[in-house]
Copies of this chain bind each other. A is one copy, B any other.
Amino acid sequence: MFRKILFPIDFSETAFKALEYIKHMKKTDSEEVILLHVIHRRVIETIAKFEVGRYEVSKKESLAEAEKRIEIERIERLQPIVDELEKLGFKVKARVEKGVPIKSILAVEKEEQVSVTVIGSHGKENLTELFMGSVSEGVIRRSKNPVLVVKRDSKVT
């Protein structure tokens, strides 16, 4: 029932809360975790423009180059989570996709034939959270799988 878990991760605090629940699910029949980070096509340019300090984007860097660099950076950020889950005995696959988050998540659910999706649900205190919140709501509404929704305010006890 929880054999193959899809974990869409945006590296937020809420996503790391969701990760704690995935680790806990290892006690059932969980075997495999698909880590999925989706880079929204339309935000890549924004990131390239505004996160200059962080990504050291020069004005000469093309959008394609920025995209590639951001992709590599995200793959690197997934690695410690892959290691952590593998140590617990999970089989782990990490995927970084470029696209529209809801669509990519639903496509991977189908392609990987996952048993359950575990997703963090943000509050809506700022624009980013408003955006992320709508991703989790869209996944909940349109997924064919069971979805475990972990809230920002959830106490992990």
| Chain A residues in the interface with B (C-beta under 8 A) | 1-3, 20-21, 24-25, 27-29, 115, 121, 137, 140-141, 143-151, 153-157
Contact = CB atoms under 8 A, between A and B. Distances in A.
Contacts of A157: 1, 3, 115
A153 B109 CA distance: 14
B24 A2 contact: yes
Q: Report copies per complex.
A: 2
- Give the most central of A24, A28, A146: most B CB within 10 Å: A146
A43 to B, nearest CB: 24
A141 B137 CA distance: 8
A156 B1 contact: yes
Contacts of A156: 1
Contact of A1 (B3, B24, B149, B151): B24
A5 to B, nearest CB: 12
A29 B21 CA distance: 12
Given A146-B151, A148-B146, A140 B115 contact: no
Contact of A149 (B2, B147, B151): B147
Contact of A146 (B2, B29, B137, B149): B149
Given A24-B28, A24-B29, A147-B148, 17 more contacts: A1-B20, A1-B21, A1-B24, A21-B146, A25-B28, A27-B29, A28-B28, A137-B140, A137-B141, A140-B149, A144-B151, A144-B154, A144-B155, A146-B148, A146-B150, A147-B149, A147-B151
